[in-house]
Every structure is written in structure tokens, then in C-alpha cells.
Amino acid sequence: DRPDALPYDLSGVRMVISAGGTREALDPVRYLGNHSSGKQGYALARAASQRGADVTLVSGATSNPGDPASVRIVNVDSAREMQREMSERAVDADVVIMAAAVADFRPVSVADAKIKKGDDGPAPIVLDTNPDILAGLVRDRTDGKIASDTVIVGFAAETGDEHGGVLDHGRAKLRRKGCDLLIVNAVGGGKAFGTEDNTGWVLSADGRETGLPFGSKTLMASRILDEVAQLVPDGRV
């Protein structure tokens, strides 16, 4: 018997979910990082597992949201490490969700020893662009490295600016990334990062746009999975 209202519609669906922030090393003790708490990705992993999915969570740095039961957890540090795990594990997945906050840039070189203060003041940090993991997964699907019916989901945290609102940026990002669903969050002014509540839209490559109700990340997770479940091919469930 299942507890009330919890659908069991993802039974046997293999999901790989990334969460948390990547850390890009500067030297053995320092890194460039971000404020991602990992809460949304962890909530997705927990909800998917409760709905019967076989879930692997590839986790960067988090604020320790608590390990979901019955979920395989793979810890990673940098974007490149996360990419290695995601691209390998996507081969055996029906659904791949990039909920992680991946650093766009990393220091070009990592010092072998701790950088000293010295007498000359700080040296500039030179950056290189990290691989785009989500775009790489879409490319792997196009190239046949992963199955053509693998569902690929991305996230976007947008503030809106002089070029357009949150939704405009989300729509453009969905087209640019080529994923099947893009979860768009409005951020800034204390929204989303590290908070308990979240709000946004699910944009679908087929043009459907579904508003997500303001509420907990757990509620967001279950609404997102409702959309994902519709895209999973019948034979996979």
C-alpha cells in the first residue's frame, strides 16, 4: 500500500540527477564556488525515488540537505568531474536532470602549493571556460552516444534584465540548450538560493509552458516530475 496521493508512476525509470554547486580549485585549500544549497536537486531525487525511480544523485557541494533514502549518491567537486560522472551515467539513464549550479569558469591553473600572500599584492586569477554539461548531454544524444529517447532536463535561474524578463531569458535558454524541459526560477531579492521555497515555470521544447505554484522545493519537485513522467516513453516505465 502506498501512502495517500503519492503516485507510483516512475517505477523502474532510471534517473540521474545533478545537484549542488561545483568547486573550482585555486590551490590545495581554496576554490571558486557558489551559494547553491542543493535543496532542489535533493528534493527531486527524494521524490523520484518515492515514485519508484532508480535514482543516482551526482552531488557537488551542498548545505547538507540530508541524503534521500534509497538514492545512490556520487560526490563530485569540479565541473569537469561532474561532467565525467554525468556523461558516463547518462548512457544507462532514461531521464537526466541537471539541477546543479555548475561554475561557468575555472582558474586556468591550480597551484600545487598554497598561494602565499607575498609582498607584491594579489595576482589576478585567470579563468578558463568550463564545459557545458547539459549541452554536452544533448550533443551526446544527437550523436547517438546516449539513447535518442532519453529525457534531458535543465534548470535556469534568471533575474531578467534590460534585454528581457525571466521568461524571455528562459525561452532563449531552452532553445540554446536543446533540452526537452527547462525549469525556470526567478531569482534575486532573496528568492531561490538557499531558501525553502521556490517558484517558476516548466518550459517544454514542444512549446508548452506550465507555471509552478509558489511553494516548497518538495512541491516543486513533484510538479516537475509530473511533467517529466509525461515524456518518459511507455516502454521505459
Q: How far is the CB of 130 from Ca ion (least distance, A)?
A: 9
Nearer to Ca ion by Cβ, of 104 and 196: the residue is 104
List residues binding Ca ion (CB under 5 A).
104
Transcribe 153-220 into DSSP letters: EEEEEE--BTTB-HHHHHHHHHHHH--SEEEEEE-BTTBSTT-SEEEEEEEETTS-EEEEEEEEHHHH
Please indicate if the annotation marks 234 as binding a ligand.
no
8 A C-beta contact, residue 62 and residue 20: yes
List residues binding ligand CTP (CB under 6 A).
79, 98, 100, 102, 104, 130, 132-134, 154-157
* C-alpha pair distances (Å), 213 with each of 6, 158, 218, 220, 223: 18, 17, 12, 7, 9
Q: How far is the CB of 97 from ligand CTP (least distance, A)?
A: 8
Please indicate if the annotation marks 133 as binding a ligand.
yes
Please indicate if the annotation marks 116 as binding a ligand.
no
Grid coordinates in use for 98? 541537471
Residue 225 interacts, among ligand CTP, Ca ion, none and using kind-specific CB cut-offs from 5 to 8 Å, with none
Nearer to Ca ion by Cβ, of 67 and 104: the residue is 104
Residue 133 interacts, among ligand CTP, Ca ion, none and using kind-specific CB cut-offs from 5 to 8 Å, with ligand CTP
Q: Give the residue numbers marked as catalytic.
A: 34
Grid coordinates in use for 114? 598554497
Please indicate if the annotation marks 145 as binding a ligand.
no
Name the β-bridge partners of 18.
58, 98
35 contacts: CB under 8 Å, gap ≥ 6: 21, 101, 193, 194
Q: How far is the CB of 99 from ligand CTP (least distance, A)?
A: 7
Grid coordinates in use for 182? 527547462
Please indicate if the annotation marks 173 as binding a ligand.
yes
CA-based end-to-end distance of the chain: 19
Q: How far is the CB of 139 from ligand CTP (least distance, A)?
A: 12
- Annotated binding residues: 104, 114, 131-134, 155, 173, 177
- Annotated binding residues for CTP: 104, 114, 131-134, 155, 173, 177
